A and B are shown apart, each in its own frame.
Chain A
Amino acid sequence: MSGYNFAYLDEDTKRMIRRAILKGLAVPGYQVPFASREMPMPYGWGTGGVQVSAAVLVPEDVMKVIDQGADDTTNAVSIRAFFQKTAQVAVTEATGEATLIQTRHRIPERPLTEDQILVYQVPIPEPLRFLEPRETETRKMHALAEYGLMHVKLYEDIARHGEIATSYAYPVKVADRYVMDPSPIPKFDNPKLESAAIQLFGAGREQRIYALPPWTPAVSLDFEDHPFEARKAPGCCGICGAEDSYLDEVILDDAGGRMFVCSDTDYCRSRVAAAEDAA
């Protein structure tokens, strides 16, 4: 298709974004400002993730896009189609085959490898946003590593609910320095942040990029007497029977029928296929 530069963005913009990514990788967890562009989709639909993906995409890449773990939801389908059209890259739904994965709010169940890049769509990059509304002040708090306020939020959770009720966008301390919002992934996924893959976070509306280099320590904040606990719905997947994967609740009818299924559709499908092969 003619008329588009490879992967939609012009080369100067990509260079600007790559610089921000490199800086983010050099200072893990630090929110690097960048000149976010208008993208042909509304804010909140992954404009930050799309720009980061466009900047790191090469023609040889095999791309996978997931939305809440699923390959077949609107956001995933349209972003995948966007890059098929503007970059003519190969796409896949298999986590193991992909070299670049753009994700909204999940980390794939299958462990990532060193030659993969995971790109997150981030709505609000600032973990302190709802505690301290002044951006000048939060920037200063990051600069001086004053993170006591983050624990006030966790304290409030325990005081009100008897346990740390924050279940997604659970703050982590990266490389013992910056406190980072891992985007709204369930806290079940937090332990997977220490991964072999490069992880890049793009927030389009907020114009911030941050990154986790491979195997960067990312410690979920907690109290000594209320330790962090990665949690999911109890039970196993109603389709593949997996007990170790994050489950979505699906309402079946209006008479209270429901089932729990893997949120990671590729993981579920590959388990079903493996079971059929074995049978």
Chain B
Amino acid sequence: MNPILSVRNLEKRYGARIGCTGVSFDLYPGEVMGIVGESGSGKTTLLNCMAGGLVPDSGEVVFDMREGGPRDVLKLSEPRRRMLARTDWAFVHQNPRDGLRMGVSAGGNVGERLMSVGARNYGAIRAEAQDWLGRVEIADDRIDDRPRDFSGGMQQRLQIARNLVTGPRLAFMDEPTGGLDVSVQARLLDLIRGLVHDMGLSAIVVTHDLAVVRLLADRLMVMRQGRVVEQGLTDQVLDDPQDAYTQLLVSSVLQV
């Protein structure tokens, strides 16, 4: 089986300071990988370098395209990369405001990707949007409400629906549960886990919350000061951390 995404020696510097460096890994279809680390450890920089939000200084991000097989996305032309970003990729922002159009109704938000790939039948777009709102547990009668009237948890679920409507194969998630209270977090995690499983989605989840990766991720990568200090199966890394920093991280979690 070919990896869906393979990253080789990715490096991004901010002047003399390191954003992330020497990052290499393979992600296989249907696999969820967690990236954890403290604030400033380069998690989000790494995610943005892969998803196209930042241009890395060196390295390769090879994606297994639907047509054409594995290609270095950093060398793709801009129209193709943008097309990829709205068809085969999904990006879930930490703050739903960054990923949603706050002035556009929920249905319009979900339908935007469909329209951007050429859907021109209002009835079909609306039916698809309705279906997706149902899948992320947003009530039918909220389809014409704007996201600004939604709660934080609903906004986050709407953002997920908006991203998954074109049936992407790879999702980038930046702290998808950040800023939500624990019960809402639990439901969202449940939802994401279900969707990832049903769609056979591969995902890269950046978080500082170890409970999130325990539930979602098959594999785990621990970052510190822009470098990967440890990677392996999630349970293995969390239950038997080898690196000193990982040990500190795992032992820092508050027990209730």
Contacts and interface: CB of A to CB of B under 8 A. Distances in A.
Interface in A222-249: 223-226
13 contacts: A148-B112, A148-B115, A148-B116, A149-B115, A151-B120, A155-B122, A159-B108, A159-B126, A159-B143, A160-B105, A223-B122, A225-B121, A225-B123
Majority DSSP secondary structure for residues of B touching A: helix
Contacts of B122: 155, 158, 223-226
B82 interface: yes
Contacts of B104: 152, 156
Interface of A: 144, 146, 148-149, 151-152, 155-156, 158-160, 223-226
Contacts of A144: 78-79, 82
Interface of B: 78-79, 82, 101, 104-105, 107-108, 111-113, 115-118, 120-123, 125-126, 143-144
Contacts of B143: 159
Contacts of B115: 148-149, 151-152, 155
A206 to B, nearest CB: 22
Residue among B108, B118, B121 with the highest chain A CB neighbour number at 10 A: B108
Given A144-B79, A146-B116, A148-B116, A155 B121 contact: no
A152 to B, nearest CB: 5
A156 B123 CA distance: 13
B114 to A, nearest CB: 8
B121 A152 contact: no
A146 B85 CA distance: 13
B116 A159 contact: no
A226 B120 CA distance: 9
B82 A152 contact: no
B193 to A, nearest CB: 30
Contact of B107 (A149, A155, A225): A155
B108 A155 contact: yes
B120 A224 contact: yes
A149 B123 contact: no
Given A148-B115, A148-B117, A149-B116, A159 B123 contact: no
Contacts of A226: 122
A151 B125 CA distance: 11
B221 to A, nearest CB: 32
